[in-house]
Amino acid sequence: MEIKLAESIRTFRKERGLTQEQLAEVLGVTVGAVYKWEAGLSTPELPLIVEMADFFDTSVDVLLGYTLKDNRIDATVRRLLHCQRSKDLSGLEEAEKALKKYPHSFDIVYRSAMLYQALGLYKRDSAKLRRALELLEKARPLLHQNTNPRISEQTLYVAMAEICQDLEDDERALELFKQHNTNGLYSDCIGMIFAKDAKCAKEAVPYLSESLLIHEAALVRTVMGYLNLFLNNRDYAQALALLDWALPFFTTMPRPGCTSFMDKINMVFYMFQAHALLKTGQPESARKSAEEAHCLAVRFDAAPSYAADTIRFVMPGEDSTANDDLGETAAQAAQNALQQIDDPQMTALWQEMCDER
């Protein structure tokens, strides 16, 4: 709490056009006393502060320069979140005060834990990380108060696992990650811990393979979503920028020499690229993209494969397979893409590719 009494006395005195001698006479004190107040060398007693506030026609809190802070739970949580995002160490003092005031509030305990975790990582401070772990343990029995759908018991346990990992307690971190690895959500973390030890390399590979497939599939869906957004808004420049970024990665996902389900997916991306190029007045580049799409379609339909291990770095023999709703064959997927694009110029270009082949 910052008190600005010295500055306020000086400001109010000057606003009234008074000298230090005149103010001292009004209050019945020495000039030296007023000088010390304004210099911050001493503080007037409470009755004099009240008398000055009355004389200056203001309130005591304004004279003190004190602004009442909102210490309700919601406001405190917002400040703690801001400190977490801005890596502000002063938030730790407020967190501890809030924990004393609201020791049974889930929001306060959880947000304080997240602040300690963020600053513990930022400062590489084990003590702060251990405090975060302690607070997460306290948050668990308070979880029934939680109203945020993005926070669950799994959220707490995974945060604890991450902190254990940062504290190099890999055994505890593995235990927690494995217990809450729904649909392979934390296979990357498990694989990374195993991979730290050369003796556990074989145990790392299945988890890393699973994680690679999960995240590559998520990236494909995300790019498709953005692409639909841009094309529906006729923002062809953004669509081309997105594909220029994504296609170099997507086209290198299949193992060299293997036909992969990614060939079928990339065919559709190349068709969208050809369409966007046509719409931006680049017919020659559009033709090259359409040719690439057609080659991928012919290649996939000649030997279709949805096996997961056709993707680079995925463990050979991985028994999972890919699924898509593009069409039963690449040829059908191309027709479905043309219907979605609904552009005569693109349809004519694709028919030209088919006739030439």
CATH number at residue 58: 1.10.260.40
The pair of structure tokens assigned to 63 is 């004279």
- pLDDT tens per residue, the chain (357 residues)? 456 888 999 999 999 899 999 999 999 999 999 999 999 899 999 999 999 989 999 888 888 876 667 779 999 999 999 999 999 999 999 999 999 999 999 999 999 999 999 999 999 999 999 999 999 999 999 999 999 999 999 999 999 999 999 999 999 999 999 999 999 999 999 999 999 988 888 899 999 999 999 999 999 999 999 999 999 999 999 999 999 999 999 999 999 988 999 999 999 999 999 999 999 999 999 999 999 999 999 999 999 999 999 999 998 775 678 888 899 999 999 999 999 999 999 999 999 999 886
Contacts of residue 240, Cβ cutoff 8 Å, sequence gap at least 6: 273, 276, 277, 280
Q: In this structure, is residue 228 part of a structural domain?
A: yes
One domain for residues 320 and 223: yes
One domain for residues 217 and 340: yes
One domain for residues 121 and 249: no
Identify the domain boundary among 64, 84, 108.
Answer: 64
- The domain tally of the chain equals 3
Q: In this structure, is residue 240 part of a structural domain?
A: yes
Q: CA distances (Å), 83 to each of 55, 112, 179, 295, in order?
A: 40, 10, 31, 54
Contacts of residue 77, Cβ cutoff 8 Å, sequence gap at least 6: 107, 108, 111
- Could you give phi then psi for residue 17, rounded to 5 degrees? 70, 30
- Contact present, 296 and 266 (Cβ < 8 Å): yes
Assign residue 342 a region (left: φ > 0; alpha: ψ between -120 and 50; beta: otherwise). left
Q: In this structure, is residue 26 part of a structural domain?
A: yes
In the prediction, which pLDDT does 1 show? 43
One domain for residues 259 and 331: yes
How far apart CA 326 and CA 140 sit, in angstroms, is: 44
Q: In this structure, is residue 298 part of a structural domain?
A: yes
Q: In this structure, is residue 195 part of a structural domain?
A: no
Q: CA distances (Å), 270 to each of 164, 211, 234, 274, 329, in order?
A: 44, 26, 17, 6, 16
One domain for residues 22 and 124: no
What is the Cα gyration radius of the chain?
33
The CATH number of the domain where 149 resides is what?
A: 1.25.40.10
Q: In this structure, is residue 196 part of a structural domain?
A: no
How far apart CA 250 and CA 220 sit, in angstroms, is: 8
In the prediction, which pLDDT does 4 show? 83
In the prediction, which pLDDT does 248 show? 96
One domain for residues 19 and 137: no
Give which of 304, 295, 254 is closest to 274, Cα–Cα.
295
- Contact present, 119 and 90 (Cβ < 8 Å): no
One domain for residues 253 and 350: yes
How far apart CA 62 and CA 56 sit, in angstroms, is: 11
One domain for residues 352 and 212: yes
Identify the domain boundary among 128, 163, 180.
Answer: 180
One domain for residues 332 and 244: yes
Q: In this structure, is residue 296 part of a structural domain?
A: yes
Which range of residues forms the domain containing residue 50? 5-64
Identify the domain boundary among 64, 83, 102.
Answer: 64
- Could you give phi then psi for residue 224, rounded to 5 degrees? -60, -40
One domain for residues 102 and 18: no
Q: In this structure, is residue 150 part of a structural domain?
A: yes
One domain for residues 84 and 112: yes
Residues belonging to the chain: 357
One domain for residues 318 and 259: yes
